[in-house]
Structure 1
Amino acid sequence: MPGLYFDELTVGQVFQHPIRRTITETDNVWFSAITHNPALLHLDEEYCRTQTEYGQRLVNSAFTLALMVGISVGDTTLGTAVANLGWDEVRFPKPLFHGDTVRVETEVVELRESKSRPNQGIVTFLHRAFNQKGELVAHCRRSGLQLKRPAA
């Protein structure tokens, strides 16, 4: 199992996730369509070329968030997560465009024992996503309920 148990995590631990992803037009249009987001910024190339400062479609920020967190799962919570508790301080300092490649790093910023579940703990991760130029394009804090290592 690739995920880590609560007791295997330490505050300050940083994961440089090996998975990278180049975002395609299909990713952006499909995600926008299945989430019923008709924003012209994601779907209308002509509008973006002539009416926006970017001159092209922007990648849906909800896709960016999902991708950033999804890339982190294999190294951190796969098989050890009980539940996602929430996302805080979600920010997108720079937009992503079709053809951009995303890499992600995750830092453990807080650990605390669960008061009501002795075999679980609460972990807070800080996820950061960067484009191929090394520019920060997204970050968020994510809290999750994580299993502790089973007693031997």
Structure 2
Amino acid sequence: MGKNLLWVALLLIAGCKGVSQEQNKEIAETKEYPITKTDAEWRAELTDMEYYVLRKAATENAFTSDLLDNKEKGTYVCAACATPLFRSENKFDSGTGWPSFDREIENSVAYDVDYKIGYARTEEHCATCGGHLGHVFNDGPRNTTGKRHCINGVALDFIPDSE
């Protein structure tokens, strides 16, 4: 009987959801961006996968992005609104399966706290349209910024310097 009570107590504690997570979610959802569109407008403009990642904060499968091995010089822009986000000289091979950068273009990215997997992570959004890009971690190249902007390739378009 004592073991059963212990299990019930552990399940109740594990099943509780903190209100701080809800508060942070509300802040992220109420943030205003210069480009705002209805859900129907975003659906009409984006591919299914772009919509899923950029508007629903999903994550593409690792090692599936056409941009992962791109070594051309140029600018990575938001796939939803074409805001310049990252430069090719700041891209590096993190081995994670997603395009990674050690820094963003200044004022192009907005940040929120994401608790979706049970602990706080820094989520990145396009500062112009609010599209979900990925997350930033403190395990990037030590000889530069120490940051790893782990970005969904489907959230990006690439514009070569030659254009």
- TM-score interval, normalised by the smaller of the two chains: under 0.3
Instruction: Tell me the TM-score normalised to structure 2 length.
Output: 0.24
Larger gyration radius, structure 1 or structure 2: 2
- Structure with larger RCO (C-alpha < 8 A, sep 6+): 1
| Richer in strand (by share) | 1
